[in-house]
Structure formats: structure tokens, C-alpha cells
């Protein structure tokens, strides 16, 4: 399969799986995989308590799992969050959730691929990308986007990245290995080295790897997905 066809196939697979997950899960509801923001984002929020205004970028925002929590934490100051996702449905639900939770004025939803979204230079105090950058269209674009994110973060700003690596998928019913539905699937050690290099002018606050396994719909089958999730948090000096 050539590059263009593989990219199209991966994105269609991801689109369908996320539509199914978003349609069957409610934000911040018990029992939902979206029941709360990720702990790493919650841990970062207090670091901005002395700010008088905040500019945030959430790449691969989905329906607002993390960005809405940030907006809720800073309702008393000007807080603008650019929220980028490839899915129209995600941005529609993002706005619905933001309206329901009273933070719609802080949310700027943008339907776009991450590789095509231009990160403005020296624009953001916080950039979040949770399970998102591995869905950039190629490794070269991924590396370029990391550099772009670096330039987009202001002095003392923070980057918070959660990226899957060493992903393996198998058909749950047959045990047969299937191609991992990720545009960028780096080895864990290589990914960690790349992040350290791309953010060499940052103070690393957290770096961790956790092995995870979960079921995910892939068309007519359920995939047993195994991944090593790299968490990287750093502050610009």
C-alpha cells in the first residue's frame, strides 16, 4: 500500500473509531473514558494560578476532555484556548460541552489536521497534545511540528505531550497482528530522545513511560492495542 492510500486508510479507521467512542461516551460522566481530564493536565493547572491572562493550545482536543478543565480553572481571568481537531463531530461536541459547562467564551474550536495548523510564534503559555501528535501525517511533519510548538511557547510557558509509541495491534478474535493505525509509530527510546532534543532549551518537569492495553473498534473487528505511552512535560527557560 502506498503512502497516500495508507494515510487515507488510517485516518478513515481513526475517524470511525472516534465517532463511535464520542457517540457512546459523555464528558465528565462516571463510567465514561472521558470521565475526567488526564492527571498530568490537572497537575499543571496550578502552575498558572498567578497569571492575569492565559493563552492555550490543545492539539487533538477531541470533545474537550482537557481544555474544558483548563477553561473552568481560569474563569476569572481572560483565558483563550485554541482547540484543534480533525473531526467536525469532535468540535461540535466540544462546543456543546463548553456551553453546558459555562466556558464557551474561552473556547475557539478549529477543524484542521495538526500538521496543517500553524502554531503562532511566541503565542501560547501552554500547549497540550494528548494522544494526538502520533496522528500527524508523517515522521518528518511530526518533527517539524515539535519545532513549531517550541517556537510557539512563551518564556516560562509549558508543553504537555502524551504520545503513543511502540504500538502493536492484533485482531482480538483471531490473534492475528494487524497494521497499527497510527501515522507515526516511533520506538519509545527514539521518541524520548527526539523530545529531549527538540525541547533542549526547556526545563524537563516530567518524563515517564507507561505500558497500556485496551480494546478499540477498527471497522468490523475489535483491536487489542498495546502501547508504551510517553508523557513529557517541560517549561521554557
Per-residue model confidence (pLDDT) at position 132 = 97
Tell me the per-residue pLDDT of 89-133, one tens digit each, with 9 for 90 and over. Answer: 999 999 999 999 999 999 999 999 999 999 999 999 999 999 999
Mean pLDDT of the chain: 93
Asked whether residue 17 carries a pLDDT value surpassing 80, the answer given is no
Q: DSSP alpha helices (H): ranges in the chain? A: 3-24, 39-44, 67-73, 88-100, 139-152, 188-198
Task: Determine the Cα–Cα distance for residues 215 and 124; give it in Å rounded to an integer.
Answer: 35
Q: Sort strands 124-130 and 54-59 into parallel, antiparallel or unpaired.
A: parallel
For the chain, percent of residues with pLDDT exceeding 90: 81
Looking at the domain covering 3-236, what would its CATH class be? alpha beta
Please write the tens of the pLDDT for every residue from 154-175: 999 999 999 999 999 999 999 9
pLDDT at residue 5 in the model:
83
- State the pLDDT at residue 92: 95
Amino acid at each position: 500500500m502506498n503512502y497516500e492510500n495508507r494515510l487515507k486508510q488510517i485516518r478513515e479507521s481513526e475517524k470511525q473509531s472516534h465517532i463511535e467512542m464520542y457517540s457512546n461516551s459523555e464528558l465528565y460522566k462516571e463510567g465514561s473514558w472521558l470521565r475526567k481530564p488526564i492527571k498530568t493536565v490537572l497537575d499543571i493547572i496550578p502552575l498558572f494560578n498567578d497569571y492575569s491572562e492565559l493563552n492555550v493550545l490543545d492539539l487533538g482536543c477531541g470533545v474537550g476532555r482537557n481544555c474544558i478543565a483548563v477553561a473552568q480553572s481560569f474563569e476569572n481571568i481572560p483565558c483563550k484556548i485554541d482547540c484543534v481537531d480533525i473531526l467536525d463531530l469532535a468540535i461540535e461536541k466540544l462546543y456543546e460541552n463548553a456551553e453546558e459547562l459555562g466556558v464557551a467564551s474561552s473556547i475557539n474550536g478549529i477543524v484542521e489536521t495538526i500538521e496543517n495548523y500553524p502554531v503562532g510564534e511566541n503565542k501560547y503559555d501552554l500547549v497540550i497534545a494528548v494522544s494526538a501528535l502520533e496522528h500527524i501525517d508523517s515522521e518528518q511533519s511530526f518533527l517539524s511540528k515539535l519545532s513549531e510548538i517550541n517556537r510557539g511557547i512563551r518564556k516560562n510557558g509549558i508543553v504537555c505531550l502524551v504520545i503513543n509509541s511502540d504500538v502493536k495491534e492484533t485482531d482480538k478474535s483471531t490473534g492475528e497482528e494487524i497494521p497499527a493505525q497510527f501515522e507515526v509509530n516511533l520506538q519509545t527510546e527514539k521518541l524520548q530522545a527526539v523530545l529531549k532534543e527538540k525541547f533542549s532549551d526547556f526545563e524537563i518537569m516530567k518524563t515517564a513511560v507507561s505500558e497500556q492495553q485496551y480494546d478499540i473498534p477498527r471497522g468490523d473487528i475489535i483491536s487489542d492495542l498495546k502501547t508504551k505511552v510517553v508523557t513529557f512535560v517541560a517549561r521554557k527557560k
